[in-house]
Amino acid sequence: MKKLSLYLFLILLICFNSEIKAETLKVIDGDTIVLNGEKIRFSGIDTPEMKQTCNIDDLEIFCGRLAKIILIEKIGNETPSCIREKKLDKYKRILAECFVNDESLSSFLVKSGYAFAYRSFSDKFIEDEEYAKKNALGLWSMEFEYPWDWRKANK
């Protein structure tokens, strides 16, 4: 009976959460990577755009580039694994939550203040965002514009 339960669990896991293991990896920006030739957008979060700037102590920085650097450093030499949540977004990217050493990259980015909970699509990372905001971590220590507002103003 235990074997049957295990097999059913594995079948359900495969059917509902397709895992992707990386052989090749490219970080596009703070919330988009390419694994094995497939473009993956981290679901439930949003990071500043690459051309977007933030200000800290009268210093203008490219906060989208900063988010990308933080992600690259977090991944290091590890191989991320991703669990698909939806097949494609409107730009034909796979939506997924990706992990390194069993830690969610999305949760890490939001909790450290370099990404925002994308409330329009998910409430999964709101607590992480509240933690970063309360502790003035990452972008929360700067003057910034939310990425979705910046995109709207800079189309």
Q: pLDDT tens, 97-152?
A: 999 999 999 999 999 999 999 988 889 999 999 999 999 999 999 999 999 999 99
In a domain, 11, yes or no: no
Which residues, including other chains, have CB under 8 Å from residue 55's CB and lie 6 or more apart? 61, 142, 143, 144
In a domain, 136, yes or no: yes
What is the band of 3 on the pLDDT scale with cuts at 50, 70, 90?
very low
In a domain, 7, yes or no: no
Domain count for the chain, please give it.
1
Q: pLDDT tens, 47-85?
A: 999 999 999 999 999 999 999 999 999 999 998 999 998
Encoded tokens for 14: 């495969």
Task: Work out the number of other CB atoms within 10 angstroms of the CB of residue 57.
Answer: 7
**Rounded to an integer, what is the distance from CA 126 to the centroid of its chain?**
13
State the residue for tokens 């990386």: 22
Q: Which domain holds residue 85?
A: 17-153
Query: Domain containing 111 — which CATH number?
Result: 2.40.50.90
In a domain, 60, yes or no: yes
Which residues, including other chains, have CB under 8 Å from residue 19's CB and lie 6 or more apart? 81, 82, 83, 84
What's the predicted TM-score (pTM) here?
0.82
Q: pLDDT tens, 5-43?
A: 333 333 333 333 344 444 689 999 999 999 999 999 999
The rounded distance, in Å, linking the Cα atoms of 13 and 89 is 22
In a domain, 86, yes or no: yes
Q: DSSP 3-state assignment of 9?
A: helix
pLDDT above 60 (res 95): yes
Which residues, including other chains, have CB under 8 Å from residue 84's CB and lie 6 or more apart? 17, 18, 19, 20, 94, 95, 96
Encoded tokens for 4: 């049957």
In a domain, 140, yes or no: yes
The rounded distance, in Å, linking the Cα atoms of 40 and 42 is 6
Q: Which pLDDT belongs to residue 61?
A: 95
